[in-house]
Structure 1
Amino acid sequence: MYTSNLLIILLGGLATASPLRVRQQTNDSNYKVIIDSNALAQALKTIMPTSDSCAGAPGPADDCRTAEQAAPFIANSSEGLGPGELAGTLALMGVESGDLKYKHNVFPGRPGQGTAGMLMPNFVAEYAASVLGAQAVAGLSPAAVLDLVTVDEHNFGSVRWFLDAKCDDGVKAALRTGSDDGFRAYMGCVGVNADDPARLAYWNRAKAALGL
């Protein structure tokens, strides 16, 4: 049945406060998942408990962003993700950025490693080329390339980019289920220990925030 109006409805099974919505665009078989940045900011504060403030942030002066500051950029880069994918990417971002307080690697201090996903320098270069073009990064040092993508517009998109560009369809399908096995598959793609208690804590908070 066709309609000329855009219909916003809750994604089935999610709590009322969920940042995820489904927009019916042209007919009843054409849906697009969108993300409300205000609701996302509240979810971020559940997933990343210290993201409500940058007061006393331990990292470089300009690295920290609050949940409210980051939410519009995360919402934009995450549009179209389902709840399982969003939970996984936010859990990863929370661990890697220290609740949005770091976008440069401080421990051990590896030049060129960073973004909200704390990508290694080779992945930072690939990400930068994907959003800015190969010519923009040609001949630059790893640190200079990182500077190109730590602006808010690009910083928070690095986690979504890695999922899209580096994880195979099986991993994406598993994560889409929102299951613990799906998260483990995703962490395997990232190359980290899925049973790390810190990572599991972020994952469990993300599931709770998104009603999984």
Structure 2
Amino acid sequence: MRAQYFSALLLIGLASASPLGCRQAPTPTTSAPGAGATGSGSGSGVDMAAAVQAIMPSSGSCSGAQFPDECRTAEQAAPFISKACADLSDGECAATVALMGLESVDMRFKHNVSPGRPGQGTANMMMADFVSQFATDLFGADKVAGKSPDAVLAMVTPDEHNFGSAAWFLTKKCTADVRSSLKTGTDAGWTAYNQCIGVDGTLPDRMAYWTRAKTAFNL
């Protein structure tokens, strides 16, 4: 168990290389999810709590979490993830949930632990510049200006915003072509999505989350 725990900390350090730098910043395609969207999800009738649990195997409990105040179970997170997915297709929703599971070590972290970069966090472990953009979209530039990176991160880590961060990145930072590819629910779509994020989606740990997500969403 101790070895698994330190493996998890290593994973979050590696995972933080994910939404660190999208290779391009295309024109936004939709409004920002996580900013008050309503709805039951992507319209598939998927039981979101069950889907999250299936995608993130350790999300059934927060027992032993290093930061208990940051950890959320599948049951706790499901309503917020459903809202974030309200305007996404099943494939897009599945991909964002898979990404969040990988980046947050099954929702046990809301901030970067290793190497501990200031301001890096949210469920998809965005770098501080993206966190700042996300906060600006939610609250306005005047509310963000002058705050430290960690203070800005604290603005967006409440559950109602935290679990909308991956959907925000997808809709704001990925091209329409990437989104169209994701809607197919294929490995090619997942690979394109990860290319937008700036990482290799074919890496075994990433593919493992995506494979579980495809099953959970019946893709």
User: TM-score, normalised to structure 1's length?
Assistant: 0.82
The aligned residue for residue 46 of structure 1 is: 54
Partner Cα separation in structure 2 for residue 41 and residue 35 of structure 1: 14
Partners of 2:191 and 2:201 within 8 A in 1? yes
Partners of 1:94 and 1:202 within 8 A in 2? yes
Bigger strand share:
1
Q: CA deviation at 1:186?
A: 0.1
RMSD over aligned Cα atoms: 1.7
The aligned residue for residue 8 of structure 1 is: none
Tell me if 1:125 matches 2:132. Answer: yes
Partners of 2:42 and 2:82 within 8 A in 1? no
Summarize the alignment of residues 151-166 of structure 1 with structure 2, pairs less than 5 Å apart: 151-166=158-173
Tell me if 1:139 matches 2:149. Answer: no
Partner Cα separation in structure 2 for residue 158 and residue 209 of structure 1: 21
Residue correspondences, number? 181
**Equivalent residue letter for 1:42:** A
**Equivalent residue letter for 2:75:** E
Q: CA deviation at 1:72?
A: 0.6
Partner Cα separation in structure 1 for residue 157 and residue 45 of structure 2: 23
Structure 2 runs not aligned, ≥5 long: 1-38
Q: After superposition, give the CA deviation of every residue in 1:170-201 in whole Å (9 maximum; x if it has no partner).
A: 11111111110010000000111111100000
- The DSSP-based 3-state class of the residue aligned with 2:201 is coil
Partner Cα separation in structure 2 for residue 193 and residue 211 of structure 1: 24
Q: CA deviation at 1:33?
A: 4.2
Structure 1 runs not aligned, ≥5 long: 1-21, 24-31
Q: After superposition, give the CA deviation of every residue in 1:120-140 in whole Å (9 maximum; x if it has no partner).
A: 000000000001111110100
Tell me if 1:74 matches 2:81. Answer: yes
Q: CA deviation at 1:89?
A: 0.7
Tell me if 1:195 matches 2:195. Answer: no
Over 3 Å off, 4+ runs: 32-37
Q: After superposition, give the CA deviation of every residue in 1:22-46 in whole Å (9 maximum; x if it has no partner).
A: 99xxxxxxxx944768x10011110
The aligned residue for residue 206 of structure 1 is: 213
Describe the shift of the 1:197–1:76 C-alpha distance in structure 2 as closer, same or farther (beyond 3 A).
same
Partners of 1:36 and 1:75 within 8 A in 2? no
Q: CA deviation at 1:103?
A: 0.5
Partners of 1:35 and 1:75 within 8 A in 2? no
Partners of 2:43 and 2:90 within 8 A in 1? no
The aligned residue for residue 56 of structure 1 is: 64
The aligned residue for residue 184 of structure 1 is: 191
**Equivalent residue letter for 1:186:** Y
Partners of 2:104 and 2:125 within 8 A in 1? yes
Q: Tell me which of the two structures has the higher relative contact order, counting C-alpha pairs closer than 8 angstroms and 6 or more residues apart.
A: 2
The aligned residue for residue 116 of structure 1 is: 123
The aligned residue for residue 98 of structure 1 is: 105
Q: CA deviation at 1:80?
A: 2.1
